[in-house]
A and B are shown apart, each in its own frame.
Chain A
Amino acid sequence: MTANSPSASPSTHAQHLAHHFESPAQQFDAAVQGMWLFLATEILLFAGLFCLYAVFRANNPEIFQHAHHYLSKPLGALNTVVLLCSSFTVAAAVRCAQLGRSRQSATLLGLTLACGLAFLGVKYVEYHHKWKEGLLWGRHFRLTEGEAATLPSAAGPATLPAAAPDATSASLGPPAAGDSAPSVASSDEPSATFRPMVLAPPGLRSPDEPAGVTTPQQQVRNIQTFFAVYFLMTGLHALHVLVGLGLIAWITWRTVAGAFSPLYFTPVAMAALYWHLVDLIWIYLFPLLYLIH
């Protein structure tokens, strides 16, 4: 290795070479390493959310097996395809930048942007639907009559105690107007309304229901937890998509301005790595949230 010397070379080598690096190759290698370390931290960030998912699903499988009815598989699959294509376009854009083909690179980056925006558009559609239907987390969870009517339900009252139907909970038949419906709850039960509870198809039971009890329907409680996990995971992911789009937009602008060449395209490569991470996370989110069966 040669000693560091002040960059006196007139070639473009010196232009982007920081004073503490000896060669563009060393500088680029360092940048790649730094970026991968950063991606590792992002993986660990999402690991927390995957841990939430794993813990809640392992301990309350019935919630997850039921709640996926509320998600649209086609839209999820569409988003997956869109992101995969955007990964391809951004990888191809890096390749063009390495080869010095700025115009092609800019076009491909623009396509990546378009894909990313399409992804966010589909996400908006999904979120909007859930907001309207009251499919949210915590105390905000409520099922409207429309949703409730589409769920399979058996005729006749539930034989389990404490199913006090209410106008906004999934229930049997149309709710009584105004006053509370006749309660089949046992007398010592408060007139609590178990809103996040739905009457699920027969055969779907939660682990703590006693075996051997023949009821036409089981009750799945705490469905709002699924939506907490859903919104946290897809929300944080969407935030990263937004940041990624910002980075790519900035890189596109700089490409058009002619800032990159085969000797210096590091920002393009770094932005692309970030975008690929966003895609990687969705590759796991899609089956875990949308393809539960």
Chain B
Amino acid sequence: MSASDPDFVRHHGSLGHIVPLRVLALTLAGLLLLTVVTVGVTMVPWLDLGPAGNLWIALLIATIKAALVALYFMHLRYEKPIISIILIVTLCFVILFIGLSMMDSRAYQPSIRAYRAVDPTRYAPDVYNR
């Protein structure tokens, strides 16, 4: 039986797990639904949690969508654990990098603001002074 035979996979097994079409379709449906939700949340006044709260909701929904893409479209659910480890370790370092940089920049903002408050052109001298 050659590889181009339609029954080849059924007899010989496949390289890597084959995701059922139903799973792919359901994942897409979930993603589209979540997209509607994430846009809708911005249009409904009583769900307004202020700038910070809205940001975290948006990030949460985005993370769920990303998880769906990664787990089902990218087969993460069916891969060996090492792949998940690679992804998680990467995300940890991303958080470390962004977190510490944010922490530091927020802490030195007062000195920047004090400097800029003296003269408004100091916000961006090359832009304002033309």
The total number of A-B Cβ pairs within 8 Å is: 184
The residues of B that contact A286 with a CB separation of less than 8 Å are 38, 62
Interface string of A63-93 (1 = CB under 8 A from B): 0010000000100010011001101101110
Q: Is the CB of B35 within 8 A of A98?
A: no
Of chain B, the residue at the smallest CB distance from A48 is B97
Q: Please tell me the number of chain A residues within 8 Å of chain B, measured between CB atoms.
A: 68
Contact A98 B9 (CB under 8 A): yes
The secondary structure that dominates the B interface is: helix
A contact residues around B116 at 8 Å (CB): 208
Contacts of B128 in A (CB 8 A): 192-196
Taken residue by residue from 169 to 181, chain A's Cβ proximity to chain B (1 for < 8 Å, 0 otherwise) reads as 0000000000000
Whether B101 and A55, one on each chain, are in contact in the complex, defined by CB atoms closer than 8 angstroms, is: yes
For residue B28, which residues in chain A have a CB less than 8 angstroms away from its CB? 84-85, 87-88
A256 beta carbon closer than 8 Å to chain B: no
Q: Which residues of chain B are near A91, meaning CB under 8 Å?
A: 19, 24, 72-74
CA distance A3 to B8 in the complex (A): 27
- Residues of chain B contacted by A36 (CB below 8 angstroms): 83, 86-87
3 smallest CB-CB distances across A and B, nearest first, come from A287-B58, A261-B3, A40-B90
In the assembled complex, 9 residue pairs joining A and B whose CB atoms fall closer than 8 Å, in A order, are A28-B16, A51-B98, A55-B101, A77-B39, A84-B31, A88-B25, A194-B128, A195-B130, A291-B39
Give the interface of B toward A (CB within 8 A).
2-6, 8-9, 12, 14-16, 18-19, 21, 24-25, 27-28, 31-32, 35, 38-39, 42, 48, 51, 54-55, 58-59, 61-62, 65-66, 69-70, 72-74, 79-80, 82-83, 86-87, 89-91, 93-94, 97-98, 101-102, 105-106, 109, 113, 116-117, 120-121, 123-124, 126-130
With A100-B5, A287-B38, A287-B61 given, can you name 14 additional A-B contacts, CB distance below 8 Å? Answer: A33-B86, A40-B89, A40-B90, A47-B98, A51-B101, A77-B39, A84-B32, A98-B15, A100-B8, A195-B127, A224-B124, A262-B14, A263-B3, A293-B42
